[in-house]
Amino acid sequence: MKILIVDDEQLVRWFLDRALKKGGHEVSSVSNINDGAARLSAEHFDLLFVDLRMPEGSGTELIKKLEGLPYRPKVIVCSAYITSELEEEFRTNDICILKKPFKLDELNSVLGACISA
């Protein structure tokens, strides 16, 4: 599976990159919304990990940009700032949620659920 990580926290990108590559996935990562949008437009990704709060913009902005793509990757929002309203909206739109901080087993569980959905 080809995965793009968009998160401004270097440690989170590193951890996700390492864990996902161990699982046999092809992983790319960027630190901001603009680079994420550019990569999604230039390449086909099966899955997008995106943070909600980043200095250059919101992860929800990037999710809205997915509508203009000729394909629709699965999405996992990875954030510490998920309100109950956002959680309901994400679930309605088939967006998976991974709350920070998370452990490896939580990552694997959400990843498995998202892939099989």
Q: Residue 48: phi, psi to the nearest 5?
A: -120, 125
Tens of pLDDT, residues 1-32? 999 999 999 999 999 999 999 999 999 999 99
Total domains present in the chain: 1
Angle at 38 between CA 36 and CA 42, to 5 degrees: 120
pLDDT tens per residue across span 59-109: 999 999 999 899 999 999 999 989 999 999 999 999 999 999 999 999 999
Query: What is the rounded distance in angstroms from the CA atom of residue 7 to the CA atom of residue 36?
Result: 9
Q: In the structure, what pLDDT confidence band is assigned to residue 56 with cuts at 50, 70 and 90?
A: confident
**Residue 71 belongs to a domain with what CATH number?**
3.40.50.2300
Structural domain that includes position 17: 2-116
